[in-house]
Amino acid sequence: MAKRTNGTRKKSSRINDVSPEVAARLAELAGEMRQLVYGKDGVPQWGTKFTEIESNGMNVGLELARLFMEQSVDEQSGQVPDTALECNGEAAEKSDQTKAATLETPAGEVLWEQPKTLLAESGRAFFPSSAGAGDQH
């Protein structure tokens, strides 16, 4: 929830800094989203309470965050390096099969298809990553 300040802005009011290029594109995107939410002029009707504007902004932002994560892990899952295909010294073989994976995030559920591989010697199915996505950087 928003809180009133003394009207001055710190050097960066963002919780997590992004590059200047990303910040510029997000500013453009915010204008486009305001038009989609509020109509052609992109302005809420006079008298709209700030809490409603805040709620609209958070809903749009969280959906953007959710889509960013979902697209990232979905694309990443299709680019599994050979080094990730080892389990207890046994190399797994890639296959065309996948298994649906889901993570609950503050922005909502993130869904993607986890690549399935096969450990040839033991015949077990092997999924390159565990409950998380990526390699913990």
The Cα–Cα gap between 84 and 133 comes to 12
In a domain, 72, yes or no: yes
In a domain, 40, yes or no: no
Virtual torsion, Cα 103, 107, 109, 115, nearest 10 deg: -50
* Cβ atoms of residues 29 and 61 within 8 Å: no
Q: Within 10 A of 122 (CB to CB), how many other CB atoms are there?
A: 12
In a domain, 91, yes or no: yes
**What are the tens digits of pLDDT across the range 83-105?**
777 777 778 887 788 889 999 99
Q: Full-prediction pTM beyond 0.85?
A: no
Mean pLDDT score of the chain: 84
In a domain, 3, yes or no: no
* 3: confidence class by pLDDT, cuts 50, 70, 90: confident
In a domain, 7, yes or no: no
In a domain, 24, yes or no: no
In a domain, 81, yes or no: yes
**Range of the structural domain that residue 133 is part of:** 49-137
Please count the structural domains in the chain.
Answer: 1
pLDDT over 80 (residue 131): no
In a domain, 136, yes or no: yes
The Cα–Cα gap between 60 and 58 comes to 5
43: CB partners within 8 A, 6+ apart:
34
